[in-house]
Each structure stands twice: as structure tokens, then as C-alpha cells.
């Protein structure tokens, strides 16, 4: 009889443990999974975004490397990014690159190719990735290399963290870049380049900022002084032919270097540009830290929620909540 009771207790314990594990899996509704070519983040089995570690085989991108986000979706499943559009085939979802750098070797990692070499310049995944997830968020850390003819010019560490924001009907994507040059480097002054979100080209686009709709003219890519003034955030809201409305906001962290924004509605790019005010000089082995927050939302621009998100992010240690 004693053995029978012991067996029953063990069986009940196993059942309880299994139920607890199942409940934990149920509660842990976010996931981050890498297959060596991508990192896929999802919520309850629904795709949220994909980080491209390797240039897809069928890609029309003229650049040789990858390390960009696409597709990026809203909670309703609307894709808001674009990659290799006809007007600018080197644009790639959410990405970071500069159009002209001078250091150990000259390079154009942006992909324009008119003022520095593009050939042999690649941003590649360094085979070092750590994915993580919780009940309410998921993310990853990845190491990338910016190469010129196989020689590393910049070591990049990217930390990404994604979570829902119900008050804005949105996903919030926090990005923390540490870029360490292997030699002294100059990022030449340009009106554009750096961190960029390329949104879809279809639908009617309206630009917003903290003060409401932005009526400033589109800037010129040859005139840095024509860029929009710095602001905590700018948003593109898109109204599609089928009646759906969705958008993307980009937030510039207050600790980033001085910034102007190359937000060109016709090209559908949101581009907080640190090289628009002046060239940026980097010292060998001293990291440049850049932090950006992207909000992919459904519906009209959630102005008050964006103001709150920008204020909280700029004043709090958001890593403490991860």
C-alpha cells in the first residue's frame, strides 16, 4: 500500500509539473527563433518581424551584404516595410549604413556607389547570435562585421527587443547599435544615410511629428541644411487603397549625436541622420552607440501614445525592464 501511495504521489507530481510546463509555454507567447539565415520574432505563432542575417538568394538588392529587418508587421498583420524598391533598389527595410566613409579603406555601405566604393563592401552576420523571449516580448543580440575586401572596418553589436504596445495598437522595436571601428574613420557629411526605415511605396502617406501633421517640404539629398529639424519622433501614416491604415514612427534617442532628419515622403524614408549636421569622426576601438525606437502601428497616428513612449524611453533605463 505504501508503494502504491508513493507511486500515486509521483504520478500527481509529474502531472502537476507537466501542467506547469504547459502553462509556462502558453504564457510565454513570444518567440525568437534563428535558422542561421534569419531571426524570426513572433507573437502567439503570428509573425511580427524578420531580421535577415544573409542576403536572400532571390533578392534584387544590389548590395552584397544583409543584416536588415524585413518584413516588419503591425499587430493586424500589415507589412509596413519595403525592400529593393524600383526607385532605390539598395533600400532594405530597416537598416543602418552610411553612403561615404573614409578610414583604413573607403566604403559605401549604403549602396549608392557614386562617392565611395560599393564593390566588396558588405555588412555580414558574424555567426554570433543569442535569441531570447518572455511572456510579453522577444529579442536577440547579434554580432555583425562591416567588411571592405574581406577586411573588417567596423565591428557591430546589435541588440533588438520587440514588445506590444496596446495603447497604440502597435509593436515597439528597440534597437541598440554599438559600432566599433578598427581604425580611425570619418563619416562624411551627407543629407541622408545612417539609420533608415523604408516604408511601403503604395498608399497615401502623411507625415506627422509631436506637433501634428508636418508640412515641411521634402529635403534635397544634396543639401543637408534642407533636412527636417531634430525631434523626438516622426511618423509616416499610410492609407491604402483597400481602406486599411497603418504607419511607422521612428524615435531618436536623446543621447545620440546631433541629428537632422532626411524624411522624404516620395521616397518613403524616415532617416534620422547624424552626418547631416556635420561629418562625424570616429576613433579606433572606441564604439559609437546609436539607439532608435521604431513603432509599427495600425490605424491613425497615435500621437499621445508616441509622445509617452518617446518620453519614457528617453528618460528611463529601458533595459531594466527586459
Q: What is the pLDDT of residue 13?
A: 43
Q: What is the pLDDT of residue 128?
A: 83
Strand order from edge to edge, sheet including 280-282: 101-102, 185-187, 280-282
Determine the straight-line distance between the first and last CA of the chain, rounded to whole angstroms.
50
pTM of the predicted model, to two decimals? Answer: 0.90
Residue 9 burial by Cβ neighbours in a 10 Å radius (0-12, 13-18, 19+): exposed
Beta-bridged to residue 165, according to DSSP, are: 170
Q: What is the pLDDT of residue 9?
A: 36
Answer yes or no: are the C-beta atoms of 218 and 266 closer than 8 Å: yes
Residue 56 burial by Cβ neighbours in a 10 Å radius (0-12, 13-18, 19+): middle
Residue 189: enclosing H or E segment and its boundaries? Answer: none
**7's grid cell:** 507511486
Question: In this model, does residue 33 exceed pLDDT 70?
Answer: yes
Burial 65-74 (b: 16+ CB within 10 A, else e): bbbbbbbbbb
CATH classification number, 29-321, choose in 2.60.40, 1.10.890, 2.70.98, 1.25.40: 2.70.98
Q: How does pLDDT run across 181-214, given as a tens digit for each residue? A: 999 999 999 999 999 999 999 999 999 999 999 9
Work out the percent of the chain whose per-residue pLDDT is above 90: 86
Residue ranges per structural domain of the chain? 29-321
Q: How does pLDDT run across 240-267, given as a tens digit for each residue? A: 999 999 999 999 999 999 999 999 999 9
Amino acid at each position: 500500500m505504501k508503494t502504491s501511495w508513493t507511486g500515486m504521489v509521483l504520478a500527481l507530481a509529474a502531472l502537476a509539473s507537466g501542467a506547469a510546463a504547459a502553462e509556462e509555454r502558453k504564457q510565454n507567447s513570444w518567440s525568437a527563433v534563428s535558422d542561421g539565415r534569419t531571426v524570426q520574432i513572433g507573437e502567439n505563432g503570428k509573425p511580427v518581424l524578420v531580421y535577415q542575417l544573409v542576403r536572400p538568394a532571390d533578392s534584387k538588392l544590389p548590395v552584397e551584404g544583409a543584416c536588415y529587418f524585413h518584413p516588419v508587421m503591425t499587430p493586424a498583420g500589415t507589412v509596413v516595410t519595403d525592400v529593393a524598391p524600383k526607385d532605390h533598389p539598395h533600400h532594405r527595410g530597416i537598416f543602418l549604413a552610411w553612403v561615404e566613409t573614409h578610414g583604413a579603406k573607403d566604403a559605401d555601405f549604403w549602396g549608392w556607389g557614386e562617392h565611395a566604393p560599393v564593390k566588396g563592401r558588405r555588412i555580414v552576420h558574424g555567426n554570433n547570435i543569442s535569441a531570447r523571449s518572455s511572456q510579453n516580448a522577444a529579442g536577440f543580440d547579434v554580432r555583425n562585421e562591416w567588411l571592405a575586401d574581406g577586411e573588417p572596418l567596423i565591428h557591430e553589436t546589435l541588440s533588438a527587443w520587440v514588445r506590444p504596445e496596446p495603447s497604440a495598437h502597435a509593436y515597439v522595436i528597440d534597437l541598440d547599435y554599438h559600432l566599433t571601428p578598427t581604425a580611425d574613420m570619418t563619416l562624411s557629411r551627407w543629407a541622408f544615410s545612417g539609420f533608415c526605415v523604408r516604408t511601403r511605396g503604395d498608399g497615401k502617406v502623411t507625415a506627422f511629428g509631436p506637433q501634428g501633421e508636418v508640412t515641411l517640404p521634402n529635403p534635397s539629398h544634396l543639401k543637408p541644411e534642407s533636412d527636417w529639424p531634430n525631434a523626438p519622433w516622426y511618423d509616416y501614416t499610410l492609407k491604402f487603397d483597400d481602406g486599411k491604415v497603418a504607419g511607422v514612427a521612428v524615435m531618436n534617442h536623446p543621447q545620440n549625436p546631433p541629428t537632422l532628419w532626411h524624411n522624404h515622403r516620395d521616397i518613403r524614408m524616415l532617416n534620422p541622420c547624424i552626418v547631416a549636421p556635420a561629418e562625424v569622426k570616429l576613433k579606433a576601438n572606441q564604439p559609437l552607440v546609436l539607439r532608435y525606437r521604431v513603432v509599427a502601428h495600425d490605424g491613425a497616428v497615435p500621437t499621445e501614445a508616441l509622445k509617452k513612449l518617446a518620453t519614457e524611453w528617453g528618460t528611463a533605463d529601458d533595459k531594466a525592464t527586459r
